[in-house]
């Protein structure tokens, strides 16, 4: 049976601004730089902080906030350099470590981001956002217990942070704590009733607890709130397949394909459902489309071979079984079925009379 695909929502990056004043002579200029950041005029903000640093290169807040503006401008490498300078000037400033961690996060340097968020927590262990981001990094690095602990701390520090509840729900799902995940997504839904992602992911968790009716209800809500998200239809199709409502599953897979024509898993899932209703020709066509979009899709080759065998096209099936074992030699059934197919071919060819 096809597996569920969960769409993970990451938290939106934001920067902590330092609004401490350095010298009276730079006061107005510095405040105007902060104002430019707040107005999302990042290039202008960078120019202002650069002017300040020309006059005083040992101004940590100017380095810090120029880094913030550069990060918002997606110049992460240069932003990290500014945060480095801010840390050299103020080695115990948690905001500098936090912001550098965000920039490392945004360029997928997760191990470096983890170190920076941990350092920020060392100097300030009361900021829920830092725990939330460190938890997100830990989840990406597959430290799920550590991630769950950090999200829990973030929630303890800010019980109204729905992003922390959502991400803890995601981590709990990944860690197979589906009951806990359902509780977290339900908390989000209680305060954000229009959050389609939370309904979708609660549906996934309910599916994994074999609460198929509850899962379908959640996926129904998700598709109603966001009818253009292909993944919601695919997840509902998987659940409908589980309750043997194959025609409804095929309809949902078809909608997912309509919205995302290059999703190999949707073609594969529809093929499996078509096989269940003995539409072998349609299943072969869908497996072929799955392979076209994912050339090393061993499961698609294997299941297309099953369809071809059911159609008594054993020579073609043997080619697919062989390809499946080439891609995935450890496949538990492919060798056995290959031998059966070889026997059928040889049996068919062995009784030709002269």
pLDDT in tens, 293-306: 999 999 999 999 99
Residue 5 has pLDDT above 70, yes or no: no
Joined tokens for residue 240? 């409908």
Range of the domain at 42: 29-107
Whether residue 285 is contained in a domain is answered as: no
If asked whether residues 103 and 132 sit together in one domain, one would say no
φ/ψ (deg, to 5) at 47:
-65, -40
Rounded distance between C-alpha atoms, residue 160 and residue 53, angstroms:
39
> What pLDDT does residue 273 have?
98
Whether residue 331 is contained in a domain is answered as: no
Query: Which helix H or strand E contains 233, and what residues bound it?
Result: helix 230-242
- Concatenating the DSSP letter of every residue in 41-66 gives -HHHHHHHHHHHHHH-TT-HHHHHHH
Go through 173-211 and write b for each residue having 16 or more CB atoms within 10 A of its CB, e for each that does not: bbbebbebbbbbbebbbeeeeebbbbbbbbbbbbbbeeb
> What pLDDT does residue 215 have?
98
- CB 185, CB 176: distance < 8 Å: no
Rounded distance between C-alpha atoms, residue 205 and residue 203, angstroms:
5
223 — pLDDT class (breaks 50, 70, 90) = very high
If asked whether residues 51 and 82 sit together in one domain, one would say yes
If asked whether residues 220 and 158 sit together in one domain, one would say yes
**CA torsion through residues 277, 219, 303, 209, sign:** negative
If asked whether residues 87 and 146 sit together in one domain, one would say no
As to burial, measured by CB atoms within 10 angstroms (0-12 exposed, 13-18 middle, 19+ buried), residue 62 is: buried
> What pLDDT does residue 13 have?
38
pLDDT in tens, 229-275: 999 999 999 999 999 999 999 999 999 999 999 999 999 999 999 99
Rounded distance between C-alpha atoms, residue 179 and residue 168, angstroms:
12
Which of residues 175, 210, 227 is at a domain's end? 227
More reliable by pLDDT, 158 or 343: 158
Helices (H) and strands (E) in the chain, counts: 19, 0
Q: What average pLDDT does the segment 151-172 reach?
A: 97
> What pLDDT does residue 334 have?
52
Query: Which helix H or strand E contains 274, and what residues bound it?
Result: helix 264-276
Q: Model pTM? A: 0.86
Whether residue 22 is contained in a domain is answered as: no
Q: Which of 2-11, 28-37, 150-159 has the lowest mean pLDDT?
A: 2-11
If asked whether residues 215 and 140 sit together in one domain, one would say yes
> Within 13 Å of residue 163, how many CA atoms lie on the same side as its CB?
14
Residue 354 has pLDDT above 70, yes or no: no
Using DSSP, state whether 123 is helix, strand or coil.
Answer: helix
Whether residue 96 is contained in a domain is answered as: yes
Whether residue 350 is contained in a domain is answered as: no
Rounded distance between C-alpha atoms, residue 188 and residue 312, angstroms:
52
Rounded distance between C-alpha atoms, residue 290 and residue 308, angstroms:
16
If asked whether residues 138 and 183 sit together in one domain, one would say yes
More reliable by pLDDT, 24 or 131: 131
113 — pLDDT class (breaks 50, 70, 90) = very high
If asked whether residues 160 and 217 sit together in one domain, one would say yes
* Average pLDDT value for the chain: 89
Joined tokens for residue 143? 């430290």
If asked whether residues 35 and 82 sit together in one domain, one would say yes
109 — pLDDT class (breaks 50, 70, 90) = very high
Whether residue 58 is contained in a domain is answered as: yes
Which of residues 73, 107, 141 is at a domain's end? 107
Q: Which of 150-154, 233-237, 271-275, 331-335 has the lowest mean pLDDT?
A: 331-335
Whether residue 82 is contained in a domain is answered as: yes
332 — pLDDT class (breaks 50, 70, 90) = low
Total count of domains within the chain: 2
344 — pLDDT class (breaks 50, 70, 90) = very low
- Concatenating the DSSP letter of every residue in 126-173 gives T-HHHHHHHHHHHHHTT-HHHHHHHHHHHHHH-TT-HHHHHHHHHHHH
If asked whether residues 101 and 131 sit together in one domain, one would say no
Q: What average pLDDT does the segment 19-29 reach?
A: 59
What CATH number has the domain bearing residue 210?
A: 1.25.40.10
If asked whether residues 141 and 93 sit together in one domain, one would say no
If asked whether residues 149 and 59 sit together in one domain, one would say no
25 — pLDDT class (breaks 50, 70, 90) = low
If asked whether residues 101 and 144 sit together in one domain, one would say no
Which of residues 227, 257, 277 is at a domain's end? 227
pLDDT in tens, 274-292: 999 999 999 999 999 999 9
Residue 175 has pLDDT above 60, yes or no: yes
pLDDT in tens, 49-58: 999 999 889 9
23 — pLDDT class (breaks 50, 70, 90) = very low
Residues 6+ apart with CB under 8 A from 157: 126, 127, 128, 131
Whether residue 249 is contained in a domain is answered as: no
> What pLDDT does residue 333 have?
61
């Amino acid at each position: 049976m096809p597996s569920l695909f969960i769409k993970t929502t990451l938290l939106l990056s934001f920067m902590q601004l330092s609004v401490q004043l350095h010298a009276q002579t730079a006061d107005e200029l510095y405040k105007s730089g902060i104002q430019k950041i707040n107005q999302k005029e990042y290039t202008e903000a960078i120019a202002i902080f650069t002017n300040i640093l020309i006059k005083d290169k040992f101004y940590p807040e100017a380095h810090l906030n120029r880094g913030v503006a550069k990060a918002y401008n997606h110049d992460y490498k240069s932003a990290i350099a500014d945060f480095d300078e801010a840390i050299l000037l103020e080695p115990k400033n948690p905001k500098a470590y936090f912001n550098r961690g965000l920039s490392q996060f945004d360029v997928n340097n997760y191990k470096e981001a983890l170190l920076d968020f941990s350092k920020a927590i060392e100097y300030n262990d009361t900021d829920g956002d830092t725990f939330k981001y460190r938890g997100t990094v830990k989840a990406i690095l597959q430290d799920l217990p550590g991630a769950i602990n950090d999200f829990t701390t973030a929630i303890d520090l800010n019980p109204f942070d729905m992003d922390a509840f959502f991400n803890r729900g995601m981590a709990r799902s990944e860690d197979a704590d589906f009951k806990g995940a359902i509780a977290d997504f339900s908390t989000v839904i209680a305060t954000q009733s229009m959050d389609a992602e939370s309904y979708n992911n609660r549906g996934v968790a309910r599916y994994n607890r074999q609460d198929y009716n509850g899962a379908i209800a959640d996926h129904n809500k998700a598709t109603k709130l966001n009818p253009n998200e292909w993944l919601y239809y695919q997840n509902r199709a998987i659940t409908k397949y589980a309750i043997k409502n194959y025609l409804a599953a095929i309809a949902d897979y078809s909608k997912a394909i309509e919205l995302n024509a290059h999703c190999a898993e949707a073609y594969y899932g529809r093929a499996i459902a078509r096989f269940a209703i003995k539409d072998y020709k349609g299943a072969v066509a869908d497996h072929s489309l799955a392979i076209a979009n994912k050339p090393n899709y061993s499961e698609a080759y294997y299941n297309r071979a099953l369809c071809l065998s059911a159609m008594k096209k054993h020579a073609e099936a043997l080619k697919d079984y062989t390809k499946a074992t080439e891609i995935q030699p450890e496949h538990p059934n492919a060798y056995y079925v290959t031998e059966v197919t070889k026997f059928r071919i040889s049996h068919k060819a062995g009784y030709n009379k002269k």
